[in-house]
């Protein structure tokens, strides 16, 4: 994912992601995919789980 595109709120539309943001999104995606494969995440909880994982990874990177 190289661009943030969420026209519903206009925030970030057309803005290029930094390398760090792309890495966080990639890591989050891989972790959530594993959670789905293991049955720990369902479509109903996807948004919440994705947000929690993303914030946790970002916080971890920023604290190191």
Residue 11: inside a domain, yes or no?
no
Give the whole-angstrom CA distance, residue 25 versus residue 55. 10
Inter-residue contact 3 to 24 (CB < 8 Å): no
Q: Residue 39 region, left (φ>0) first, then alpha (ψ -120 to 50), else beta?
A: left
**Structure tokens belonging to residue 52:** 């929690």
Looking at the domain assignment, is residue 51 inside a domain? yes
Residue-range definition of the domain harbouring residue 43: 20-62
Whole-number pLDDT of residue 13: 67
**Mean pLDDT of successive 10-residue stretches along the chain, which has 64 residues:** 47 81 97 95 94 97 89
In a domain, 56, yes or no: yes
| Angstrom distance (rounded) from CA 34 to CA 41 | 9
Distance CA 32, CA 18 (A): 21
Structural domain count, the chain: 1
**Residue 34 domain-assigned (yes or no):** yes
């Amino acid at each position: 994912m190289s661009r943030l595109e969420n026209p519903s709120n206009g925030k970030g539309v057309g803005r290029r992601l930094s390398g760090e943001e792309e890495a966080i999104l990639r890591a989050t995606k891989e972790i959530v995919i594993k959670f789905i494969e293991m049955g720990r995440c369902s479509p109903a909880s996807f948004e919440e789980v994705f947000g929690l994982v993303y914030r946790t990874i970002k916080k971890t990177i920023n604290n190191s």
